[in-house]
Structure formats: structure tokens, C-alpha cells
A and B are shown apart, each in its own frame.
Chain A
Amino acid sequence: MLELHHVSRSFAQNPVLNDISFTVPGGALTGFVGANGAGKTTTMRIIMGLLSADSGSVTLNGQPLTGATRPNFGYMPEERGLYPKQPVIDQLVYLGQLHGLTRSGARKRAMELLARFGLDDRAKSKLESLSLGNQQRVQVTAALLHEPDVLILDEPFSGLDPIAVDAMSSILRDYAARGVPVLFSSHQLDLLDVLVDHLVIIQDGRILADSSADELRATQASRHRLSLGSDTGWLRSEPGVTVIDISGHEALVNFDSESDAQRVLATAMSRGPVAEFAVHRPSLADIYREIIK
């Protein structure tokens, strides 16, 4: 489990991170979302030891991370970067060696991962001759080479085609299943909905949410969607009901309790046909939009 405790960082008197704390649990995929400039990349760079925090600490399984290097972390920086003029396999082997793998071990591992991304036939090509999507896959491969204990990925899905998104998702799930804490940032909210187990939301250098996806969804689980045969305006005057949205025959409401829900359903049925009366499952995208409002 990776934890941030009260981390703050300013650049030239401009606070970028303001006393942030959150947890990246092992064995789960943690999504890290926030608008551009919210502080995601700065946070990740502090986790990686590339930036120092002005105050606060980062711990892994309770042990504070010290020094600049995190040799057992897998990292994919925001700005992609490998050696454009070098063959793919050569640079992967080099990075693997720096992570402490043997030359042959690194080669074997790199080829396995490339095969998983369908790139094994491009191993000897220069990186710059690959499409951007494929370069991205190589970048991910570089982060995974040494079987990292922690994965920190800045926008791993950006620029990937749907097939590659699936491959990337399944790889990330594999790592999470092994108990590795995985933190990744993304702007693709719909993707987060199907992928993440845990969500951290950051805005203007403050953490707005740090909880499991299920918990977040549960906060809004009392929402119901109603679709009736006639106008739904009467719901506004029902006790125990908070109307979120009404438009003609349809309504989105919050019930104070389950009994309120059952009573309203009975009333609705006595007033006419009920086409839909369902618990509304909010997507994480909806929740995110709700929270950052």
C-alpha cells in the first residue's frame, strides 16, 4: 500500500499541492483524476522521487520512501520519452539492465511484453519509425520490464487505439491482481468506470475524494429514475423525495428512505402506467462531475 501523508509543494511561492493525503491500495487499480493543472503530474513526480516535497511524506507499506531513486517502481512519465533513434529492443534491454536485470533476462522479458502488445515483430525497428500508439506501447513495456512492486503511470491510455486500450487494461488488471499498487491518471472517464477499483480526485492541489469506486457509487445509490405515463410534476410535492431533474414524463429523484421509494411507486402506479422505476447507477464520470462542481 502506497500512502501520501500531508504532502505540499510550491513552485516559486505558487502552491501546487496543498497538504494532500491519499492511499493507493495494493491489489487494486487506482484512478487519479483531475483537470489539467490540478497537480496530478507533480504528485506523481513526488511519488517517484523526481521532485521533493516541501513537507509531508510518501510511504510504501508503512516505510517512508527516501532518496531519489525508486528502482522497484514502474514509471511512465507524462511526456513520453525513450531514445527515438535506437532500436526498440536495445533500449528496453538497457533500461532492464539499469533496473538490475541481466542482459538476457531483460531481453526475454521485453520480448514477452512486446508480444503481448503485438509488437514483437518490430523489436529491431528504431523507435521513431513506429506509430505514436506503438511508441506508447513500448513506453509501457519499459515501465513493466522489471516486474515492478509499484506502478505509477501518467496517462497510460492517451493515444491508444481500442485494441491497445484493452491490452493495456488487461495488463494493469494482472498487476493489480498480484497485489501491486497501481496508480494511473486518465482523462478518459468512461474508461475509469469499467477499470478502476479506487478513485482519487484532485482539484487545485487538494484531494476531493479518496475512496473505493463502490463507496463512491454508494453515496449516490439512493437515486432512482422514473418514467411514467403522464407528467411527473407531482413528485415535487411528495414528502421524503428530493427531485434532481424532471422533464415531462421522466424524473431523477433521491428518496430519503426505502419506504419512501415504495410509497412513491405505489402512488405512481395508482396514477397511471409506470414504464420504469429503477435504481440509478451513477457512472464514475457522473460522480466526478458532481464532486468537482
Chain B
Amino acid sequence: MNASTAPWLIVALREVETKLRDKAFIISTIVTLLFIVGSVAITGVLGNRTSHFTVAATDDTSYQVLEQVIKDRPDDVELSISRLTPENAKQQLSAEQLSAILSASDDAREFTLTGFNEVDQELSSLVREAMKSVMTDQLLAEAGLESSSLPDNDDLVTDQLHGDSERAAMASVMGLVFSFLFYMAAFLFGMPIANSVIEEKQNRVVEILASTIRLRQLLAGKIIGNVILAMLQLLAFLSIGLLAAYISPIQIPFLGIVTQVAGWFVVFFFGGFLLLAGIWAALGSLATRTEDLQQSSGPVVGLLMAVLFIGLYAKGSFLVVASYIPIVSSAAMPIRLLSGEVAIWEPVLSLAILLAACWLVLLFAERIYRRAVMHTGGALTLRKALKLEV
């Protein structure tokens, strides 16, 4: 670093450095990272728990039924089948080497599924379905008909106007994740901006700083420093989470869409956070003591709660409107992008609105900051601050 380093950069680096030396911050980040990896892993395991059954048939018809089960079974069921004599089968079941035995009555019209001390529900329903279809095929064959000529369940295909339910479920989970990440960062990195402004105002360091560098540079440095921190932490969370999802041995659905929307989220997060940073700085400069902030931060907290609730509940046209309102859009637009098709101009327009609002708020915040931060005496209202002479 040389003598010509821009003042805002020195201020920004100090913000970053101070935070990185803060043990509580480092620990909470690591804990969150572990939590993310853990929840990706648990989701994978829970969502893809496979059942394994070993079933023996004691006659040919039963074996045929079991073969049909293998054909029809869903992905998360594994089935090993064998053909054994009734005595052998009984022996192996007693030794719990088998999950169940399937045997047919002499006329091959009724079947018995015998378990050791219980029969798994999933297995019995799979066998029941298979048994029906095998027996139907047999009856049809006797009548000289092909089973494929019969009307079938597959003849009805279901479709939904708004995506499919699995995607909707994914969108609501990821929407909550995005809202929460934004909410957390807004407090974790936004509040310190306000507090450090108050600290400098309260201790009058700001007089020394203001006589050395321009207040605009000081404010810019503070905001940029915290934006860098917030973005770095967000990128760490997202990339570790996505990486865990990609390398997880179990296939996690919609990973492609989530990754794509995560990219949008980063951009919206940036805009939303920058805007909030301006508001936090202005609020900090209006306060005289840290206690004042608790009162004046009400509107910001309200706004952030809105972000969180949108992540939880927003649907339909309400969500569409929300996706264009700055700050709220930081969560709402990614949620829309997750849950279905959105034309490309929509996030672009919303982003443009966000950045424009950002610019206005930062200009306004700078005006307030410059006036209020040098003021000694009681806490200020917005109106009083704007009337102050520089």
C-alpha cells in the first residue's frame, strides 16, 4: 500500500479488517457454513432413503408376481428375489435373511405374503399391485386379449397451470433460504454500519476524520467495506451450499435452476444491500447514542420483516408486484425465477428499478450523513437534519 491510496479504500479496508478479526463473526460464519453443508446432506439422505427387500417365492406364479414388482417398483425401492422351496424359505425367514415369503394357493388365485414378525406396508402394496396386474394379464390371455389394448391409468396425464408441485415445493424452500440470507446479511453487516457511524459521532473521532478526508469518502468507505464483507460471505454460503449439492452422491432435483437463480440472487442481493447500507448510515448519523438507533431503525426492521414474509407466503400477483419493489425485490424476484418461467426482461427491469432507487437513496443518505454526523447535542429527526447548516 502506498501513500496515494484513496481514503475510501483505507476506510473500507479497515472495516473489512476489523470484521475479519472479530472472532464472533468468524465463528458464526463457519457455523453457518457447516449448517448449510449439513442441511444439504440431510435433505439428500431424507429425500432419497431407499428401502431394500429380499423376497423369496415358493412357486412359479409367485415368482412371476415378484418379477412384476421389480418391473413396477419406484426408484427408491430395491428388491432381490429368489425361488426357494417352502422349507428353505421358512428357514431363511426365521433366520431373518428374508424380508418376506410369497406363496400362492394351489389354484394360484390367492397369495400369502409372510413376514418374520411384520410385513412392510410398502412391500405389501407393491406386491398387491403386481399380483393384480399378473392375474389380470392371465385372465386376459385366457380370454384371448392383450393387456395393452385395455384402457390404462397412463391415458390420463396430469398437468398444472403453474408449474408442478415438486418445483413449487423447491421454490418455497429456496425462497425462504434466499429471504433469510438477505435478512441475516442486512442485520449482520447493515447494523455495524449504523453503529460505527454512531461510534465515530459519539466519540467525536469524526471531527478528526472530517478535517482529514472528505465525509463522502468516509461514508463511501464504510458502505463499500461492509458490502464487500456481505458479498464475500454470501458467495461463500452459496458456493459451499451448491458445491455440497453437486458433489453429493444423491441426485438433488432442480440443481440447475437453483444455480442459475442463485446468480440472479447475488445481483439482487448486491443492489438491495447497497440501498439498505445507505439507510443504515443515515440512521446512524441521526442518532446520538446506540440506544437511539433502536427507535429509529423501526422502518428498516419492518422492511426486512416484509422480505422474510414474502419468502414465506407471497403468491400470485402480490409476488409479482413485490418483485419490482426495491429491497423486497431482492427476495421476491429470485423466488419468482425459481417457481416458474419469467421473461428475461422482468428481472432486468426490476434490477434497473433497484439500482435507480439505490442511487437516489445513497445520494439522500449522503446529504443527511454529511449534515447530521457533525451535529452535537440530541438525536435528530430527518427533517431537522436536512435543515442543518454545514
Contact = CB atoms under 8 A, between A and B. Distances in A.
A50 interface: yes
Interface in A122-159: 142-143
Given A83-B199, A84-B203, A98 B211 contact: no
A83 B211 contact: no
B208 A75 contact: yes
Interface in A43-67: 45, 48-50, 52
A75 B203 contact: no
Given A73-B211, A97-B10, A98-B209, A52 B3 contact: no
B210 A69 contact: yes
B364 to A, nearest CB: 20
Interface string B188-224: 0000000000011001111111111111000000000
Interface residues of A, number: 31
B156 interface: no
Contacts of B205: 81-83
B215 A75 contact: no
B208 A68 contact: no
A102 B208 contact: no
Nearest to B7: A98
A99 B207 contact: no
A255 interface: no
Contact of A50 (B7, B200, B203, B210): B210
Interface string B180-191: 000000000000
B351 interface: no
Interface string A91-104: 00011011111110
Contacts of B5: 97
Interface in B1-41: 1-5, 7, 10-11, 14, 18
Given A94-B10, A102-B1, A50 B207 contact: yes
Contacts of B11: 98
A6 interface: no
A112 to B, nearest CB: 18
Contacts of A45: 207
A281 interface: no
B204 A68 contact: no
Nearest to B212: A98
B2 A102 contact: yes
Q: Which of A80, A84, A97 has the most CB of B within 10 A?
A: A97
A98 B209 CA distance: 8
B122 interface: no
Given A83-B199, A98-B10, A69 B214 contact: yes
Contacts of B390: 52
Nearest to B370: A68
Contacts of A245: none
B155 interface: no
Query: What range describes how many residues of B lie at the interface?
Result: 20 to 34
Given A83-B203, A83-B205, A50 B3 contact: no
A119 B10 CA distance: 26
B10 A75 contact: no
B154 interface: no
B208 A69 contact: no
A69 B212 contact: yes
Nearest to B206: A81
B374 A50 contact: yes
B389 interface: yes
Interface in B157-182: none
A90 to B, nearest CB: 9
A273 interface: no
A70 interface: yes
B192 to A, nearest CB: 13
DSSP majority for the A interface?
loop
Contacts of B204: 77, 79-81
A118 interface: no
A103 B207 CA distance: 22
A79 B375 CA distance: 13
Nearest to B221: A98
Given A52-B389, A142-B208, A81 B203 contact: yes
Contact of B208 (A81, A84, A100): A81
B112 to A, nearest CB: 77
A103 B5 CA distance: 10
Interface string B256-286: 0000000000000000000000000000000
A103 B9 CA distance: 13
B108 to A, nearest CB: 85
Contact of B203 (A49, A70, A82, A102): A82
B214 A68 contact: yes
B137 to A, nearest CB: 80
A101 B3 contact: yes
Contacts of A49: 210-211
B258 to A, nearest CB: 41
A100 B3 contact: yes
Nearest to B18: A86
A146 to B, nearest CB: 9
Contact of B213 (A69, A102, A103): A69
A225 B187 CA distance: 73
A143 to B, nearest CB: 8
Contact of B210 (A52, A68, A83, A86): A68
A68 B14 CA distance: 23
A105 B137 CA distance: 91
A77 B209 CA distance: 11
A71 interface: yes
Given A52-B389, A97-B5, A102-B1, A71 B207 contact: no
A97 B4 CA distance: 9
Nearest to A102: B3
Nearest to A142: B208
9 contacts: A48-B207, A48-B211, A49-B211, A69-B213, A71-B212, A83-B205, A86-B18, A95-B208, A98-B212
The 9 residue pairs across chains A and B that have the minimum distance between CB atoms? A81-B204, A81-B203, A77-B207, A79-B204, A48-B211, A81-B205, A97-B10, A75-B211, A100-B3
Given A71-B213, A81-B207, A83-B203, 8 more contacts: A45-B207, A52-B389, A69-B211, A69-B212, A81-B200, A97-B5, A99-B212, A100-B4
